[in-house]
Structure 1
Amino acid sequence: MNPTGRLLRGESGSRLVLTRTFRAPIDDVWASVTESDRTARWFGPWEGDPAPGHTIKVQLAFEEQEPWTDLRIDACEPPRRLACSTTDEHGTWSLELLLSESDGTTLLEFVQHLETEEGIGEVGPGWEYYLDLLVASRDDSQRPDFDDYFPSMTAYYEGLRR
């Protein structure tokens, strides 16, 4: 497995960007990242009112002990943009999913707006894993094994900071 993430720096800070491409209409990919029964297949189910400004509860189904966490919906612009944030012991996670379609192929850009670039060697492999879980959930292929991502991708992601 080869890491795909890029680290982009700008006036508003650093962003970690990972992409996946799907031979599917944008509305179908949007459903995979927003409908609870479909997010349950690759990230975890959620409950609550997913309107902008509201907080939903998401179960991290592929983490140890499958904990539930609060996730604030910061923006929802179907079927092109979902922005959300959460805070945990590691800080605030500000995330965006950006979708675009061309000729029946949908590009998904996953963006994490970083408070700091520290820890990117752990964060990057984790997002690679989750996005590949998304791919597997859509094409009914075998789920990836986290051990194929971490720690083998750590050096690549740490190298992005240079």
Structure 2
Amino acid sequence: MITLTKSARIQNYKKMIKEGRGTGTGIGREYIPWLKIQDVPSLGRATRLKGIKTGRQHEFLSDMERNYFYVLEYSDNVIDIREQFPLLPLEDTLLIAEELGIEHPKNPENGEVIVMTTDFFITIKKGNEDCYIARTIKATDELLNKRVLEKFEIERVYWLRKGID
């Protein structure tokens, strides 16, 4: 059974929601990433860059994410780029993990479940329509890690259920 009973987890979750993390519309100027560089211990190089399309600061947790951003930034079809996009509500990914028999990602320090994120949630222009795509960036060698693939599967099913490529 899925429960969100720990008050600290709920308070942190509510605090991030109250801060407006993971929200913002339009061309993305108001968007606040769910995760910021200071929130995540990084083994790689983290980068902040001001976007030309969005006019806001973007936060990247790896060189690969930064490089993919450059590709998106210079694509004529891309009209908005939102990084570290949360998979909300949390209950959706908890349910998917349970259905798949996969352990939901947890904070390694305290064992509490965390909100999963997608590296990029992108708005593209197709004719007169805005379409959305979700993309996650990982190094090839990380794809040999069973746990990475399990998390990808939760993420894939989440977006599939939302009708997002």
Q: Given the two structures, how large is their TM-score scaled by the length of structure 2?
A: 0.29
- Which has the higher Rg, Structure 1 or Structure 2? 2
Q: Which has the higher strand share?
A: 1
More helix by share: 2
Q: Which has the higher contact order (CA 8 A, sep 6+)?
A: 1
